[in-house]
Amino acid sequence: MDSFSRWFCILVVVADLLAITYFGGMFFITGSLLPKHEEAHIVVAGAEDPNAHKSTVSAPKPDPDVLPEGFVADAARGATISAKCKACHSFDADGKHRIGPKMWDIFGKQIASYDEFSYSSAFYDKQGEIVWDEEALYQYLKNPKAYIPGTKMAFPGLKKAADRANLIAYLKTLQ
């Protein structure tokens, strides 16, 4: 090998080393930044429940916001749930307005129908638009502040569809 070839060989080796360092470094950086996210996701998904996929297929978890198939509303259960409302509402035939208006005979009434009760302006704004039928009560009781923004009814809502349906069945009996 003449001296030119020797130098040329050394040059090639040095260039190779530089290339390996450069691309290796790139791989290291991207390898540690990009796929990490995906990897973490897979680990978390598997860690939650190894049978998650299987159980979803064989027995889907019921959505509490959807009435189960064949559901029949139960006024007696609704009466139990009304305990959550009693801090503010009366439910008896001779009940009085309290923090909220009385609930006796509320089903089918127009919104804000009691002259002697002082409602929020949000309620007065909805006058003529809302009748307390099944649909309106169902939506209002799910999330009062979402259905009527600005309502002064300080109640977070009944998240279970079955609770709302049972309570409405109970309200219907109060007449």
Q: For residues 165 and 157, give the distance between their C-alpha atoms in angstroms, rounded to a whole number.
A: 13
First to last CA, the chain: 111
Nearer to ligand HEC, 151 or 162 (CB): 151
Q: For residues 67 and 72, give the distance between their C-alpha atoms in angstroms, rounded to a whole number.
A: 9
The distance of Cα 22 from the centroid of its chain, to the nearest Å, equals: 48
If one asks whether residue 89 binds ligand HEC (CB under 6 A), the answer comes out as yes
State which of residues 77, 152, 160, 172 lies at the interface with ligand HEC (CB under 6 A). Answer: 152
If one asks whether residue 160 binds ligand HEC (CB under 6 A), the answer comes out as no
Region of residue 128 (left: phi > 0; alpha: psi -120 to 50; beta: else) = left
Q: For residues 110 and 127, give the distance between their C-alpha atoms in angstroms, rounded to a whole number.
A: 7
Q: For residues 118 and 11, give the distance between their C-alpha atoms in angstroms, rounded to a whole number.
A: 91
To ligand HEC, the closest distance from the beta carbon of 158 in angstroms equals 6
If one asks whether residue 146 binds ligand HEC (CB under 6 A), the answer comes out as no
136 within 8 A of 109, measured Cβ to Cβ: no
If one asks whether residue 132 binds ligand HEC (CB under 6 A), the answer comes out as yes
- Could you count the other beta carbons within 10 Å of the beta carbon of residue 119? 19
Could you give the string, one character per residue 56-85, with x where binding to ligand HEC holds by CB under 6 A and - elsewhere?
Answer: ----------------------------xx
State which of residues 97, 100, 160, 172 lies at the interface with ligand HEC (CB under 6 A). Answer: 100
To ligand HEC, the closest distance from the beta carbon of 66 in angstroms equals 19
State which of residues 90, 120, 139, 143 lies at the interface with ligand HEC (CB under 6 A). Answer: 120
User: Which residues of this protein are in contact with ligand HEC, per CB under 6 A?
Assistant: 84-85, 87-89, 99-101, 106, 111-114, 119-120, 122-123, 132, 141, 151-155, 158, 167
